[in-house]
Amino acid sequence: MAISVLPGCFFSRSRTNPELSPELASQIIPNQSTAGDVTRVLGAPNEVVQLGLRTAWRYEHTVEKQSAAFLVFLGLRGVDTQSDRVWVFFDTDGNVTNVGTQFQASEAEYDVPIF
Amino acid sequence: MDSQLPLVLALVAPLLGSCVTGDYNQTRVFQPVPADAVASLEVGRAGLEDALSGLGAPLQVIELGAGAALAWGWKESADWNITGSANIGSVRGRIQYADAALEFPGVVLFFDRSWTLVAKEEGFLSDLLLKPQLPRLVEGASGPAGDA
């Protein structure tokens, strides 16, 4: 009974999809790489968007860090979700035309809010 | 003071079987794009490469007629969730208050078929992306095609 009202806390971390890195993404070169090259480097995409006869492929690795403190009748919870994301744009022949990247998954933080 | 005691007890007694709990949640999902990078994208001149190098990889890419819309979004919010319950006589009551923000602010860039920026809008993604989508373009189609 007494234990049930004691303060507590927890931390959790979850990840979605394999990690991406600037080194991997830099191997995809616009006007040189093909769809085959992209799958060899990054594997199967998480999403394929049809743009007329062109396509865009999304790769995403997400990290969510969650922390919480329970103070009897008050719970404080912080959730931080950040991702590494790569979009590869192809022309009608399956050649890479553009690559967009962002790498922020490592910036996810445990942060119990104190207001 | 003694004369007020029964009154105080009468007011407090129904609340003895009550309970109030609160949750304070702080949420951060992704990060805002640089405002100066958005401002530097000139409608009619900027292209896909300018957008990707300035804003990074978008959250969403959507086919829109012959062109496309690219959306960047993020969320940073703090909200309360308070629940109170009480037993008054044989009646049990429960009340809940929540102020969670559901909106996802962001930027949407609209491109034409040749990847020239034709419009940029800032606001909540739920509003910006709910606009009616144009019919899908089938490139190279010159009319109904029969089976060969």
Provide the domain limits for residue B25.
18-128
Kindly list the residues from chain A whose CB atom is less than 8 angstroms away from the CB atom of residue B37: none
DSSP symbol at A23: H
CB contact (8 A) between residue B139 and residue A92:
yes
Q: Which of A51, A73, A101 is facing B22, going by the closest CB pair?
A: A73
Q: What is the CATH number of the domain that holds A65?
A: 3.30.1450
Tokens of A68: 């919480």
Kindly list the residues from chain B whose CB atom is less than 8 angstroms away from the CB atom of residue A28: none
- Give a yes or no: residue B144 inside a domain: no
CA distance linking residue B65 with residue B135, whole number of Å: 5
| pLDDT of B44 higher than 80 | yes
| pLDDT of A5 higher than 90 | no
Tokens of B6: 């029964």
**Residue A86 touches chain B, beta carbons under 8 Å:** yes
Least CA distance to B59: which residue of chain A? A85
Least CA distance to A54: which residue of chain B? B139
CA distance linking residue B6 with residue B11, whole number of Å: 9
- Give a yes or no: residue B25 inside a domain: yes
Q: Residues B92, B17: contact at Cβ < 8 Å?
A: no
Provide the domain limits for residue A25.
13-107
* Domains of chain A: total: 1
How crowded is the C-beta side of B115, counted as CA atoms within 13 Å?
16
pLDDT tens track for B88-142: 777 777 777 776 666 789 999 999 999 999 999 999 988 887 655 555 555 555 4
- Give a yes or no: residue A4 inside a domain: no
CA distance linking residue B140 with residue B142, whole number of Å: 6
Predicted local confidence at residue B145, as pLDDT: 40
Residue B83: pLDDT band with limits 50, 70, 90: confident
* Domains of chain B: total: 1
Range list of H helices, B13-73: 35-39, 48-55
CB contact (8 A) between residue B52 and residue A100:
yes
- Give a yes or no: residue B80 inside a domain: yes
- Give a yes or no: residue B98 inside a domain: yes
**Nearest-CA neighbor of B48 among B106, B118, B135?**
B118
Q: Residues A92, A54: contact at Cβ < 8 Å?
A: yes
Predicted local confidence at residue A28, as pLDDT: 98
Tokens of A50: 């049809």
- Give a yes or no: residue A52 inside a domain: yes
Residues comprising chain A, all counted: 115
- Give a yes or no: residue A3 inside a domain: no
Range list of H helices, B2-148: 5-12, 35-39, 48-55, 125-128
Residue type, A86: V
Q: Which of A53, A78, A81 is facing B139, going by the closest CB pair?
A: A53
Question: pTM higher than 0.95, yes or no?
Answer: no
Collapsed DSSP state (helix, strand, coil) of residue A28:
coil
Q: Which of A36-40, B14-18, B125-129 has the highest mean pLDDT?
A: A36-40
Q: State the sign of the Cα–Cα–Cα–Cα dihedral A34, A40, A41, A43.
A: positive
Least CA distance to B83: which residue of chain A? A73
Residue type, A62: T
- Give a yes or no: residue A43 inside a domain: yes
pLDDT tens track for A46-81: 999 999 999 999 999 999 999 999 888 889 999 999
pLDDT tens track for B21-31: 888 999 999 99
- Measured between CA atoms, how close is A39 to chain B, in angstroms? 18
Q: Is B4 exposed, middle or buried (0-12, 13-18, 19+ CB in 10 A)?
A: exposed
CB contact (8 A) between residue A49 and residue B62:
yes
ipTM of the complex: 0.89
Q: Which residue has the tokens 């480097």?
A: A41
